[in-house]
Amino acid sequence: LTDPRQDPHAREIHPRQLALLRSADLLVRVGLDHEPWLGRALRAVAPPAHDLDCSRAVALLGTETPRLRADSRPHVHAFGNTHYWLDPENARPLTAHIQEILGRLVPAERAAFEANRARFLARLDAGLARWKERLRPHAGSRVVVVHDTWPYFARRFELVITAAVEEKPGVPPSPAYLGLLMERMRATGVRVVVAEPGAPAALLRRIAGGTGARVVTLAPSVGSDPEATDYLALFDVNVDRLAAALASR
């Protein structure tokens, strides 16, 4: 229903998406407040018979990124951080959840679903070994993120997120906050800023120019970058880019 190159938190639903929802047997969603527009869409059509909220399959993190000061304004991620697929270990319970409901929907294909998942997990295990080895020299490295997308990724690969450019998820930084952030980056020696496609270029240039940090653009989801063509490629791309940025500090 969504274009991975667009902000998943804010989009308008169109007649084509409503038609897809109306004809679907199964809806798979990220859950929490990741797709606030989806509730409006489901009120406009008869919802699918099976609605799979994948957030119930994993242990969720809160908004873990440290904040430089208190802020009570509304924000996305109010119910927990929604980017749980960026811990590759979460693919195990997620695919188990999806396989189980597909097996109930199409019992004749249950064995095929199980075999497909087994092949995927074998490739995932090989990928995990490769990604951990690539980032092992950078364990404990500190980074700043633009949006609060990366706590699951950072936890899995032993990285430390010291702050976010956004004052709260989805809330742009004020001039005062940005000044405080850059002062903190200079004082603590943070030299890598993790951005995503579509992040404000002028803002990133200002941070890089004011701190000497290197900006690296990672892919938050499959399809959000031309090289992130599937789930395993998503981690290949992100791990390689981040390791290169950390090595050049």
Any idea where the domains of the chain sit in the sequence?
A: 1-47, 131-247
What's the confidence (pLDDT) of residue 71?
46
pTM of the predicted structure, to 2 decimals? 0.87
The architecture of the domain spanning 131-247 is 3-Layer(aba) Sandwich (3.40)
Spatial neighbors of 31 by CB under 8 A, at least 6 apart, are 53, 54, 55, 56, 82
What's the confidence (pLDDT) of residue 75?
43
What's the confidence (pLDDT) of residue 23?
84
Alpha helices in 142-196 (DSSP H): 151-156, 175-188
Nearest of 107, 114, 116, 101 to residue 28 by alpha carbon: 101
What's the confidence (pLDDT) of residue 49?
72
What's the average pLDDT block by block, 10 residues per block, for the chain (249 residues)? 68 76 86 75 74 91 57 52 96 97 97 98 99 98 96 98 91 95 97 96 98 98 96 99 94
What's the confidence (pLDDT) of residue 164?
96
Cβ pair 29, 52 in contact under 8 A:
yes
Structural tokens at position 11 = 């989009």
